[in-house]
Amino acid sequence: MPKKKSKRALAAPTLLKSFDKEKGTIQVVVETPRGCRNKFAYDPDRGIFQLKKVLPEGMTFPHDFGFVPSTKGEDGDPVDVLILMDEPAYPGCLIECRIVGVIEGRQKEEGETFRNDRFLGVSVVSHTHSNIRDLSDLNPNFLAELENFFEQYHKLDGSKYKCIGKKGARAAKRLLKSQMVKRAA
């Protein structure tokens, strides 16, 4: 007997659960893999990952970059996460992470200024980064390089991005929880 076809063939990763309260972890959907010049973004209206832009020669994403489902930042998009793990994943891959901190940022685009924070997560199955539990476990030079990447990345679009602070895991979790989208039952 043939299987009954569903009305909706594509998944909706923006609607997935954000947190696993029992484990204290977050879910992150990868949009752009580490080492990639292509910036991909999930388009929830069409249910696809779309090429958003291409970085210039010599510039790549330093780590996998994605979003936390069922959240919404001041920029109107789901909350951004940079994922520390051993090897790059692929767009659409769901990664369970522990949140270790946040790089707070202010972005100015088309005359409007808003917060656009970048959370830092570590894949729970990572070997290389298994000892990282908080921002304080990361090398300060590494964090400065991430800040510089985000500032240069936004400069390409003609927008201005300024890192305004860094906070550890506890503060990052509180901030992330405040950006969860309330869903109707």
- 1 found inside a domain: no
164 part of a folded domain: yes
- 93 within 8 A of 29, measured Cβ to Cβ: yes
- Residue 120, phi then psi, degrees to nearest 5: -115, 125
Three-state secondary structure call for residue 37: coil
- List all residues 6 or more positions away from 84 whose beta carbon is below 8 Å from its beta carbon: 63, 100, 120, 121, 122, 123, 126, 128, 129, 132
Measure the CA–CA gap between 28 and 96, rounded to whole angstroms: 6
103 is a domain residue? yes
Residue 91 burial (C-beta neighbours within 10 Å; 0-12, 13-18, 19+): buried
In a domain, 8, yes or no: no
Give the number of domains in the chain: 1
| 33, two tokens | 């893999």
Considering the domain boundaries, does residue 87 fall inside one? yes
Residue 4 falls within a domain, yes or no?
Answer: no
Helix (H) / strand (E) element for 53: namely strand 48-54
Which domain CATH number covers 161? 3.90.80.10
Residue 182 is assigned to a structural domain of this protein:
no
Amino acid found at 131: N
Minimal CA–CA distance to 13: which of 27, 2, 26? 27
Domain around 167: 13-177
Is residue 3 in some structural domain?
no
**pLDDT at position 25, please?**
94
**Which pTM value belongs to this model?**
0.89
- Run means of pLDDT, 10 residues per run, the chain, 185 residues: 48 80 92 98 92 96 96 92 97 96 95 95 97 97 96 91 97 93 58
